[in-house]
């Protein structure tokens, strides 16, 4: 039985990996009982990085009555055949869920994401054995943007992703924004995607490392000094003013180092 009588819009930011994209699209086309419409922003030609590329797709689909849900998907994330259908079913069972995500597996079938813990200073994922996964959908503090299903009604209410965070942190930020407005973030343990975290990131790229640090700093300045974040986040009750200040100072120092490196190139 079909879980959705409308097409699901899919937004994919693509960067210099045509084979990975082709494989991901093949998995998308083979979703059971779900039709998709795919929008791809090619960052290979105009590299806007993650957040702006996603927002282009959200603007295209969120304000149309033709779509109730939008899937954000990395080019190297391959959905199992029932993945999208299981996520749609979970969302339809709980109208107050604004964002949901599947369990993420490595190639060897080990679980590398089953919900998120700390968002500061860097995101940390929960992992577990497949046999220990809960049977029912469960809440998470924030959803990883490699594969997340958004309800268009929520997007119309809370807006787009914050483009001040260009590459990382915008997914955690968006999850906290959603939750602060009463929407829930859910993990669907019957849905699976194959995705290796960090597989497409060049850690030797000084410019990109600088961008990530700037994103981290913006996220921290936006969220962690306030009482709302302490209520919403996994680590909020444990954060101290001294720890926050230490991390922010070190982040600023690293940004300045990368700025110096880039100025010499």
pTM: 0.87
Residues 174, 162 contacting (CB under 8 angstroms): yes
Task: Look at the chain and count its residues.
Answer: 265
Tell me how far the alpha carbon of residue 89 is from its chain's centroid.
20
CATH number of 8-194: 3.90.550.10
**DSSP alpha helices (H): ranges in the chain?**
18-29, 49-61, 83-93, 152-158, 170-180, 206-223, 227-232, 241-263
Backbone angles phi, psi at 21, to 5 degrees: -65, -45
User: With the CA atoms of 82, 83, 89 and 95 taken in that order, what torsion angle do they form, in degrees rounded to the nearest 10?
Assistant: -170
d(CA 70, CA 155): 9
For residue 108, with 0-12 CB atoms within 10 Å meaning exposed, 13-18 middle and 19 or more buried, which class applies?
exposed
d(CA 176, CA 136): 22
3-state secondary structure of 207: helix
Residue ranges covered by each domain of the chain:
8-194, 206-263
Instruction: Give the pLDDT confidence score for residue 225 in this predicted structure.
Output: 72
Does the CA dihedral 84-87-91-96 come out positive or negative? negative
Per-residue pLDDT 10s for the chain (265 aa) are 345 579 999 999 999 999 999 999 999 999 999 999 999 999 998 899 999 999 999 999 999 999 999 999 999 999 999 999 999 999 999 999 999 999 999 999 999 999 999 998 889 999 988 888 999 999 999 999 999 999 999 999 999 999 999 999 999 999 999 999 999 999 999 999 999 976 555 567 899 999 999 999 999 888 887 778 888 899 888 888 888 889 889 999 999 999 988 888 7
Instruction: Give the pLDDT confidence score for residue 1 in this predicted structure.
Output: 39
- Cis peptide bond N-terminal to 177, omega within 30: no
């Amino acid at each position: 039985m079909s879980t959705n009588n409308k097409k699901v819009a899919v937004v994919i930011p693509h960067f210099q990996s045509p084979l990975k994209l082709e494989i991901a699209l093949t998995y998308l086309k083979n979703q059971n009982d779900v039709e998709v419409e795919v929008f791809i922003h090619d960052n290979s030609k105009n590299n806007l990085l993650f957040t702006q590329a996603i927002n282009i797709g959200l603007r295209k689909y969120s304000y149309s009555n033709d779509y109730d849900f939008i899937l954000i998907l990395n080019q190297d994330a391959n959905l199992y055949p029932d993945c999208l259908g299981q996520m749609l079913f979970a969302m339809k069972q709980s109208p107050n869920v604004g964002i949901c995500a599947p369990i993420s597996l490595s190639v060897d079938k080990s679980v590398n994401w089953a919900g998120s813990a700390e968002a500061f200073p860097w995101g940390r994922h929960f992992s577990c054995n497949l046999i220990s996964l809960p049977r029912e959908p469960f809440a998470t503090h924030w959803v990883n943007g490699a594969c997340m299903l958004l309800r268009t009604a929520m997007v119309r209410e809370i807006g787009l992703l914050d483009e001040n965070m260009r590459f990382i942190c915008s997914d955690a930020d968006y999850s906290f924004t959603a939750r602060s407005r009463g929407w829930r973030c859910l993990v669907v343990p019957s849905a699976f995607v194959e995705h290796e975290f960090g597989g497409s990131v060049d850690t030797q790229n000084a410019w990109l490392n600088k961008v990530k640090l700037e994103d981290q700093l913006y996220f921290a300045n936006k969220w962690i000094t306030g009482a709302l974040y302490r209520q919403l986040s996994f680590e909020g009750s444990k954060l101290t003013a001294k720890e926050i200040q230490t991390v922010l100072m070190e982040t600023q120092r690293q940004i300045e180092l990368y700025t110096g490196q880039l100025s010499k190139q």
